[in-house]
Structure 1
Amino acid sequence: MSEVSGPVRVAPREAWLLVATFLVAVAGLIYELIAATVSSYLLGDSVRQFSFVLGVFLSSMGAGAWVSRYVEEALPGFVWAQIGLGLIGGFLAPVLFFSYAWLGAVALPLFAMLVAVGVLSGMEIPLIARALKEIGAPEFRFENVLTADYIGALAASIAFPIVVIPFLGLMSASLAFGCLNLLVAGLSLWLFRARMRAVHWLAWALALLVSLAALWQSERLVSVVDASLFEDDVILSEATPYQQITITRFRDRVRLFLDHSIQFDTQDEYRYHESLVHPVLSLAPRAEKVLILGGGDGMALREVLKHDRVRAVTLVDLDPRVTELFATNPELVPLNRGAFADPRATVVNRDAWRFAEESTDSFDVILIDLPDPKNITLSKLYSREFYGVLTERLSADGLMVTQAGSPLFARQAFWSVARTMAATRNPIRPGAGLWTLPYHVYVPSFGDWGFVIAAPQQHRPRAPGLPRSLRYLTPDTWAAAQVFGSDIGPVEAEVNSIRDHALVGYYNEGWDTWFR
């Protein structure tokens, strides 16, 4: 008779090493995502930063896998790697934020720490595989280790935007996953205590004490960084799956920052929002249905609702937390005069492009109040393709307007936006582009700032019929807004397309020339 073999029993120590593989994979990918997110917050151009971080991290992991062959004892080496990751990975976000706040530099510490985390992470799998062999694990298969590692990476990639950022934030998340590495080190020390020495226990205990203390004080660390980064008192600092929201206040002056870039200052925001909204609404033959893309703070909505002929306004903003704050926070609601409570207003939290593609509604006026095109993700919302989709949402005699950046600080970028709108297909006159009207105003918080109105049909830039309650815009200032000096006037610039994103280069080159 043939002998029937029973199921292979997995010893606790073998099972723990596979669980540890899963946990360290989670922590390693979280560090990579934190590094990429922090660098995109502080350095801009998220696509470039994510690409650089990914490349450096993976190549460093390869170096770590190669270096692991020189570690004589696998289990003690694995514990040392976890202690190092707990400290370097755990303090990744705090070091980067403090470096940026105090020194104004982040690239050197970012990539130095990223290389260290990558090397230590790359050592983990080879050391775990060797450790399993050393303890005589029956039926050891290297693919089991890799499977646990890949599943851990998947878990981290899903948890990062859904759980980690919304509930922990970057600072606390970095420290919390540092503690996770130290937990892995501590359990490994206990399970394999016969192979460990006192120095391992001492180093682990000190690292855990420092990390837990930092995690306990993480909110205070965030406050210290915010106080260094922002001139005024920080009244709200919150990370969402989409961005970092920071709101500051000095006396009656409130500022909103998204990913550390200023969005408005109540000292002068009326100049921007009046100039964005009222010219296009006044030029529009009809203005019963209005669409606002972006503008989650409700300031543009506030201005739109000053026009009695507006019957319905749809505001589309990606981040529900922004619209929620400005619709419910008692310190913020007065800034937009309770615009979200107006029965004419409807809020949709969705990607602007997807909304424009999937909506079947027609609008008399479309206002594009989106962040600057500093990266490819945002540049696509300033592309000929996107404007083409928006023309399908315009009524027959409708108009749209976009904020287009500074014709002074990023001159080519501004005129690229204008030329892109002019080159957008005309749904009424096939083969022709759109009629455009560029203009600019001075907003102290931003400098000389530009806008472009576009429409399938030409409209005379007549003196607009403005509401009486405006603080800045008048027929005279509107006439002056259409005049460009010789140093900010039209220049050669390519049309922006999702195929080449010429606008990103123009934008970053222009601002770097002035401020870096």
Structure 2
Amino acid sequence: MTPPRAVEARAAWLLLATFLVAVAGLIYELIAATLSSYLLGDSVRQFSLVIGIFLSAMGVGAWLSRFVSDAFSGFVWAQILLGIVGGFLAPVLFLNYAWMGQVALPLYGALIAIGILSGMEIPLIARVLEQIGALKFRFENVLSVDYIGALVASLAFPLLVIPYLGLMSASLAFGGLNLAVAGLSLLVFREWATRVQVAVWAVAFVATLGALWQSERLVSVAEAELFEDDVILSEATSYQQITVTRYRDRVRLFLDHSIQFDSLDEHRYHEPLVHPAMALAPRARDILILGGGDGMAAREVLRYPEVQSVTLVDLDPRVTQLFRDHPDLSKLNDNALSDPRVTVVNEDAWRFLERETQIYDVVIIDLPDPKSIALSRLYTKQFYGLLAERLSGQGVFVTQAGSPFFARQAFWSVAETIESSRNPQRPGRGLQAVPYRSYVPSFGEWGFVLATFEPLTDRRIELPDGLSYLDDDVWRAAQIFDGDTDRVDAEPNTLQSHALMGYYLDGWDYWFR
């Protein structure tokens, strides 16, 4: 008979194991959701699918646990398999996507396997506790420890796991955690362990540690396949995956694997984004840039000598830090983020506008495309109404609005949203919108919408010297839309409808999926 102290020690280990496997299980779920949103897009849809599939699979696993005759052996095998499947989740998905362009099938297959194995853990641990005679055992204690582990994982994932490990290393590290739980369980219950379990565990543990040791090389291999050019910087932050590539003098920025600019043609985007608004504003002393953490828009704004202050608001501090301090990146924006007139604020654009009281002459919105609800809200009537309160009486704002060719209805939804947004200068009427476009080889046909309180009587613009692309003739032509890009019916985007996100996803899916 097992001594009472030994029973208590084993029971304590099983409760600790419950906490550890709960942390690992939720980390796998978050890695899967993050990877699917990176590689498949539409974070809301992907997170919903991942959570639904994972929880359903856990239910199946809990049901299947009743057919496991040896609870301890079942628990150990579940940990070994979780260490293998969960640990190699990110490496397999990244490499499979890079080599074969396929991610959905292996992602959801691995997610179902991880969910089933995770669902078996609690029932099996409860049976082992009963088997060893843990008289003080209560099932709700196991569940409480499991929920605490999930809370710790959900907090650690954005604050510690992604910033310090990245997806590849995190997957392997928590696979190692499952295998460590299996190994320690085999040690604590050594009389129940089998040679086969120990041998398989040892091979899996060594393989996982080896892969973790080589995780940077695995990242390099995957990125070499994913990106055409040499990867000179790759970082995961709490907000996104930042990747910078270079070929000779050509530099590209990718956020969450989506291209943001190519130094070869970025002037065809940033000049149309900035200069019409700056030139049409009667006064351009105080400027606000929302997004634009790469400093390119700020570079264009600083061409105007009358500019006294530029406030740049970008959510991710690492992006603005890189484009201020990295020598290869800061020269792309002519060191704009180090200019004493520029103040960088790392904050959500909506929160900034809510707390800000300063009035701006020109606002330039250079935010990512509205492919999620978090981004779509920054293209709503409510957001533009809030923004209008921060504009001077004759102020001008402009937003990038996506492609009028690939996502035609989405582009015109932005225009419709601006035209139906609250106009504090003309109560009961909307803002005045001027849609226009530019061809950017890296993106295709790209669109912008400029907004004012009053209709523009004269749209001629005087531009500073030194521009590579934009002139008055280009500006006039930019306001003409052809049969493939001309206005179509579209609903305005609101916090309730998020019609824009649907238009955007449908448009790009039509052309590229």
TM-score (norm 1): 0.98
Deviations 1:10-37 (A, max 9, x none): 7211110000000000000000000000
Look up the equivalent residue of 1:509 and give its one-letter code.
D
Residue 501 (structure 2) pairs with residue 466 (structure 1): no
Q: Which of the numbers 372, 375, 379 marks the counterpart of 1:378?
A: 375
Look up the equivalent residue of 2:480 and give its one-letter code.
V
Instruction: Name the residue aligned to 2:95.
Output: 98
Residue 167 (structure 2) pairs with residue 188 (structure 1): no
Percent identical residues: 67
Q: In the TM superposition, what is the alpha-carbon distance from 1:461 to its structure 2 partner?
A: 4.2
Instruction: Name the residue aligned to 2:171.
Output: 174
Q: C-alpha separation between the residues in 2 aligned to 1:111 and 1:475? A: 52
Q: Any idea what SS the aligned residue of 2:397 has? A: strand
Relative to 1, partners in 2 of residues 1:25 and 1:461: Cα closer, same or farther, differing over 3 Å? farther
Deviations 1:392-442 (A, max 9, x none): 111111010000011111110100000100000110111100011000011
Matches within 5 A, 1:441-452: 441-452=438-449
Q: Which of the numbers 314, 319, 322 marks the counterpart of 2:319?
A: 322
Q: Any idea what SS the aligned residue of 1:438 has? A: strand
Shifted more, 23-32 versus 69-78: the winner is 69-78
Q: Any idea what SS the aligned residue of 1:449 has? A: strand
In the alignment, structure 1 segments of 5+ residues that lack a partner are 1-6
Look up the equivalent residue of 1:285 and give its one-letter code.
P
Instruction: Name the residue aligned to 1:223.
Output: 220
Residue 135 (structure 2) pairs with residue 138 (structure 1): yes
Instruction: Name the residue aligned to 1:430.
Output: 427
Q: Which of the numbers 344, 348, 364 marks the counterpart of 1:347?
A: 344
Instruction: Name the residue aligned to 1:335.
Output: 332
Q: Which of the numbers 345, 355, 359 marks the counterpart of 1:358?
A: 355
Q: C-alpha separation between the residues in 1 aligned to 2:297 and 2:263? A: 13
Q: In the TM superposition, what is the alpha-carbon distance from 1:8 to its structure 2 partner?
A: 9.7
Q: Is contact 2:7–2:132 with CA below 8 Å preserved after alignment?
A: no
Instruction: Name the residue aligned to 1:88.
Output: 85
Q: In the TM superposition, what is the alpha-carbon distance from 1:202 to its structure 2 partner?
A: 0.7
Q: C-alpha separation between the residues in 1 aligned to 2:509 and 2:50? A: 21
Deviations 1:120-172 (A, max 9, x none): 00000000000000001121111110111011000000000000000000000
Q: Any idea what SS the aligned residue of 1:472 has? A: coil
Q: Any idea what SS the aligned residue of 1:303 has? A: helix
Q: C-alpha separation between the residues in 2 aligned to 1:171 and 1:98? A: 11
Instruction: Name the residue aligned to 1:244.
Output: 241
Q: Which of the numbers 452, 457, 465 marks the counterpart of 2:454?
A: 457
Look up the equivalent residue of 2:167 and give its one-letter code.
L
Q: In the TM superposition, what is the alpha-carbon distance from 1:341 to its structure 2 partner?
A: 1.1
Q: C-alpha separation between the residues in 1 aligned to 2:66 and 2:384? A: 56
Look up the equivalent residue of 2:131 and give its one-letter code.
E
Q: C-alpha separation between the residues in 1 aligned to 2:458 and 2:307? A: 21
Q: Which of the numbers 76, 88, 91 marks the counterpart of 1:79?
A: 76
Look up the equivalent residue of 2:509 and give its one-letter code.
D
Q: C-alpha separation between the residues in 2 aligned to 1:17 and 1:323? A: 46
Look up the equivalent residue of 2:341 and give its one-letter code.
R
Residue 304 (structure 2) pairs with residue 307 (structure 1): yes
Q: Which of the numbers 454, 473, 478 marks the counterpart of 1:476?
A: 473
Residue 137 (structure 2) pairs with residue 118 (structure 1): no
Q: C-alpha separation between the residues in 1 aligned to 2:63 and 2:341? A: 63
Residue 291 (structure 2) pairs with residue 294 (structure 1): yes
Q: In the TM superposition, what is the alpha-carbon distance from 1:460 to its structure 2 partner?
A: 2.9
Look up the equivalent residue of 1:366 and give its one-letter code.
V
Q: C-alpha separation between the residues in 2 aligned to 1:11 and 1:487? A: 73
Deviations 1:154-202 (A, max 9, x none): 0000000000000000000000000000000000001101011111101
Shifted more, 456-465 versus 319-328: the winner is 456-465
Look up the equivalent residue of 1:40 and give its one-letter code.
S
Look up the equivalent residue of 1:64 and give its one-letter code.
G
Q: Which of the numbers 197, 200, 204 marks the counterpart of 2:201?
A: 204
Q: In the TM superposition, what is the alpha-carbon distance from 1:459 to its structure 2 partner?
A: 2.1
Residue 20 (structure 2) pairs with residue 23 (structure 1): yes
Look up the equivalent residue of 2:394 and give its one-letter code.
D
Q: C-alpha separation between the residues in 2 aligned to 1:433 and 1:139? A: 68
Relative to 1, partners in 2 of residues 1:414 and 1:189: Cα closer, same or farther, differing over 3 Å? same
Aligned residues: CA RMSD: 1.1
Deviations 1:285-315 (A, max 9, x none): 1111000000000000000000111110000
Instruction: Name the residue aligned to 1:265.
Output: 262
Q: C-alpha separation between the residues in 2 aligned to 1:94 and 1:245? A: 18
Q: C-alpha separation between the residues in 1 aligned to 2:473 and 2:7? A: 82
Q: C-alpha separation between the residues in 2 aligned to 1:262 and 1:339? A: 21
Q: C-alpha separation between the residues in 1 aligned to 2:416 and 2:467? A: 30
Q: C-alpha separation between the residues in 2 aligned to 1:204 and 1:82? A: 9
Matches within 5 A, 1:7-18: 11-18=8-15
Q: Any idea what SS the aligned residue of 1:121 has? A: helix
Shifted more, 322-331 versus 457-466: the winner is 457-466
Deviations 1:478-516 (A, max 9, x none): 111111112211111111111011111111111111112
Q: Which of the numbers 155, 158, 172 marks the counterpart of 1:161?
A: 158
Look up the equivalent residue of 1:150 and give its one-letter code.
Y
Q: C-alpha separation between the residues in 2 aligned to 1:441 and 1:333? A: 25
Q: C-alpha separation between the residues in 2 aligned to 1:137 and 1:301? A: 66
Q: C-alpha separation between the residues in 2 aligned to 1:265 and 1:432? A: 39
Instruction: Name the residue aligned to 1:489.
Output: 486
Q: C-alpha separation between the residues in 1 aligned to 2:408 and 2:337? A: 35
Q: C-alpha separation between the residues in 1 aligned to 2:363 and 2:238? A: 27
Instruction: Name the residue aligned to 1:3.
Output: none
Q: In the TM superposition, what is the alpha-carbon distance from 1:103 to its structure 2 partner?
A: 1.0
Q: In the TM superposition, what is the alpha-carbon distance from 1:9 to its structure 2 partner?
A: 9.5
In the alignment, structure 2 segments of 5+ residues that lack a partner are none
Q: Any idea what SS the aligned residue of 1:405 has? A: coil
Q: C-alpha separation between the residues in 2 aligned to 1:47 and 1:487? A: 30
Q: C-alpha separation between the residues in 2 aligned to 1:403 and 1:463? A: 20
Runs of 4+, deviation exceeding 4 Å:
7-10
Q: Is contact 2:287–2:310 with CA below 8 Å preserved after alignment?
A: yes
Instruction: Name the residue aligned to 2:277.
Output: 280
Q: C-alpha separation between the residues in 2 aligned to 1:138 and 1:325? A: 58
Q: C-alpha separation between the residues in 1 aligned to 2:407 and 2:476? A: 23
